[in-house]
Structure 1
Amino acid sequence: MDGVNATKASVRLGVIDGDGIGPEVVAATRSVVDEAIGAAGLAPVEWVPLPMGHEAIAACGDPLPESTMAALEQLDAWILGPHDNASYPAQVRVAPGGVIRKRLGLYANIRPAAAFAGVRATAPGIDLVIVRENSEGFYADRNMFAGSGEFRPTADVAMAVAVVTRQACERIAHQALRLARSRRRQVTVVHKANVLPMTTGLFRDVCYEVAAQYPDVRVDDEHVDAMAAHLVRAPGDYDVIVTENLFGDILSDLAGELAGSLGMAASLNCSEHKAMAQAVHGAAPGLAGHNRANPAALQLSAAMLLRWLAVRDDDAGLRDAADRIDRAVAATFAAGIATADLGGLASTSEFTEQVSARVHRR
């Protein structure tokens, strides 16, 4: 092997299969990661399997057992398969991904959207990253210390609290601006300050304050409704987009579809100390067990996870492994190999075999 770091200790990664197509795309991702780690000359990954979702409900009545959370607290990085909390019993209908993000402080959600050669994209010129604040905003499951930020004072009235803090705005702005320095040095702040001046206005203003520390990065801003229109009309005009939780969730789904399909929309949830690879798409229970799901999104998310570790630890071997996965997925698409959601004929396992073969190529 032509690896660059063969003597480094094994990387230890948590792995959570999830629900629906989760076990299939997670297995496909592990396979590709193992191939890339080996091709980079690194010791094999030490995988730490952890239960979540229907598997955990069947075993202990809890979709996110405390034993899983305790294990994640001891890990720096892990892969999370999609979950289907809408199908959980009413008494345990928790969204595990949101709980993990909140409990472990994964405040940044990094979601790239780029068109691939060989994939028919609505916006073939798209190549951007949405940096989504992950810890507060309008998301009722994570914007309060205890309880929910959404409530009903009467049977006919529903209310929600939005939370925006200077600390959260500052740290997500730094994430976006640092990322822009590695790309085209352009950041667009997305808000709705014309009707939400105190909350999203604070987000916009703090982002500009932080931007003063990055004079080499050009910064502008857009209202979220205008931003949605601009993404459809001229996505190539944008590089890094930073926004609050709800807006980031919506815009990143739009960007993923413009790039071709949510089946290849990757994301990384992270802080300075921990990171979680999680595809943007859901559990698609109707596809489960049919070997038809697109594993590319989670495979690309795993590459982001390895790159996060590489940057944190200044590890050239992990960077090489991440680059190999990115190149292999892109080369597989370019060869016309794709799953059904992209108009292709490949099964989950066939697509994965093709990617795994290509991680060994320079």
Structure 2
Amino acid sequence: MRTFRLGVLTGDGIGPEIVPAAVEVIDAAVAATDTAAVEWVPLPVGAAAIESHGDALPEVTVETLRGLDGWLLGPHDSAAYPEEHRRKLNPSGYLRKHFDLFANIRPAKAFDGTPALVPGMDLVVARENTEGFYTDRSTYRGTGEFMPTADVAIAMGIFTRPAIERIARQACELALRRRRHLTIVHKANVLRTTTGFFLEICREIAADYPQLEVDDFHIDAMTVHLVRRGADFDVLVTENMFGDILSDLTGELAGSLGIAPSINASHDRAMAQAAHGSAPDIAGRGLANPTAMIASGAMLLDWLGLPEVAERIDLGLRETVAQGIRTADLGGTASTTEFTAAVIKGLA
């Protein structure tokens, strides 16, 4: 039986509530399947790390992560950090860039019986995670934003063939395991050189997968199609900023950002991270929905080669919601701990 060593970075806001919930559920699911063992490695991050180590992402955290099989990252509230820390890359952005976690995979799947705006939605956004229009990740050192004068601000968007090829291939492989429909999202009618390049290379890669149905939409039109007929789509592949925006939209259309998980992965390591933020307005009140963080942990287990454990967690989440045990964002009254306890009970 293999033991997986996984980092635990609780983060800010609701992080100290939802990350421990994910740890509890994962422990219960692993014990129920008896296929592996997990050793948890707590590490400092966020506001607590600033207080204890003088940095939101201490060097000891980054170096320890290098030797682990993967990790759970809670949300961070970097906007609330002291000014000298706000000038740095936030913890999530730094880890994605430092470990070249190029694929941000964000599912959006409606739960039966919940007030989803698009019932039946079941899609995945495959977001390129290292360049594009997010300037904090588009240069080797520093950022791609600068001001040549006090009245001019410039941002660079970077698109490279190797980065586009690898996210396109990841998206094609994912679509192959799902409903075999790939949608490329771009803005090639205006941003012809950059997102036109993205579209061109994605189509080149998709040609290696004749089993797939492939189409494409402009980013603005895509938002409309998702609202009107989001259940018709399977895998969307797009650049960094478009993917971030679309995945927030699809998460809410599926019912709530509280159920929107994600994984950030390279070829040899992965980080589980809920798609939502730190929600400081409800932190410490027991109102947070831990589903996205728990489901992100399940995605990490699947990436590590434990699909039966991941499936058990997903089933446990869905059965709990189907029984009417729901947090406030899904129209229920269950607290974070009550919901987590119900999921664990269902795993036994």
TM-score scaled to structure 1, two decimals?
0.94
The equivalent position to 1:349 in structure 2, one of 329, 337, 348, is 337
Q: 1:353 to 1:67 in 2, by over 3 A?
A: same
Whole-angstrom distance in 2 between the partners of 1:306 and 1:194? 40
The equivalent position to 1:185 in structure 2, one of 180, 188, 204, is 180
The equivalent position to 1:84 in structure 2, one of 59, 77, 81, is 77
1:326 aligned residue: 314
Q: Check if 1:204 corresponds to 2:192.
A: no
Whole-angstrom distance in 1 between the partners of 2:153 and 2:268? 37
The equivalent position to 1:249 in structure 2, one of 207, 224, 244, is 244
Whole-angstrom distance in 1 between the partners of 2:347 and 2:300? 16
TM-score scaled to structure 2, two decimals?
0.98
1:314 aligned residue: none
Could you tell me how far 1:76 is from its partner in structure 2? 2.5
Whole-angstrom distance in 2 between the partners of 1:359 and 1:165? 44
The equivalent position to 2:253 in structure 1, one of 253, 258, 273, is 258
**Deviation digits for residues 227-254 of structure 1, max 9, x if unmatched?**
0000000112110000000000001100
SS at match of 1:158: strand
Amino acid at match of 1:84: D
Unaligned runs of 5+ in 1: 1-7, 311-317
**Deviation digits for residues 294-337 of structure 1, max 9, x if unmatched?**
00000010110000011xxxxxxx22111110000000111111
Could you tell me how far 1:123 is from its partner in structure 2? 0.3
Amino acid at match of 2:113: G
Could you tell me how far 1:43 is from its partner in structure 2? 4.5
Could you tell me how far 1:118 is from its partner in structure 2? 2.2
Could you tell me how far 1:60 is from its partner in structure 2? 1.6
Amino acid at match of 2:218: H
Q: Provide runs of 4+ in structure 1 moved above 4 Å.
A: none
SS at match of 1:234: helix
Whole-angstrom distance in 1 between the partners of 2:80 and 2:195? 33
1:315 aligned residue: none
Could you tell me how far 1:125 is from its partner in structure 2? 2.0
**Deviation digits for residues 45-99 of structure 1, max 9, x if unmatched?**
1001110001110012100011111011112211000000000011011310000
Equivalent residue runs for 1:234-313 within 5 Å: 234-310=229-305
Could you tell me how far 1:268 is from its partner in structure 2? 0.5
Q: Is the 8 A contact 1:123 1:258 kept in 2?
A: yes
Q: Is the 8 A contact 1:19 1:84 kept in 2?
A: yes
Q: Check if 1:171 corresponds to 2:159.
A: no
Q: Check if 1:31 corresponds to 2:24.
A: yes
Could you tell me how far 1:44 is from its partner in structure 2? 3.5
1:151 aligned residue: 146
Unaligned runs of 5+ in 2: none
Residue identity over aligned pairs, in percent, reads: 58
**Deviation digits for residues 11-44 of structure 1, max 9, x if unmatched?**
2111101001101100100000000000011354
Equivalent residue runs for 1:113-152 within 5 Å: 113-152=108-147
Q: Is the 8 A contact 1:188 1:238 kept in 2?
A: yes
**Deviation digits for residues 152-186 of structure 1, max 9, x if unmatched?**
11222111000000000100000000000110001
Measured on the aligned residues, the alpha-carbon RMSD in Å equals 0.8
2:64 aligned residue: 71
Q: Is the 8 A contact 1:10 1:42 kept in 2?
A: no
Equivalent residue runs for 1:31-70 within 5 Å: 31-70=24-63
Q: Is the 8 A contact 1:118 1:335 kept in 2?
A: no
SS at match of 1:152: strand
Report the number of matched residues: 346
SS at match of 1:130: strand
SS at match of 1:285: coil
Whole-angstrom distance in 1 between the partners of 2:68 and 2:195? 34
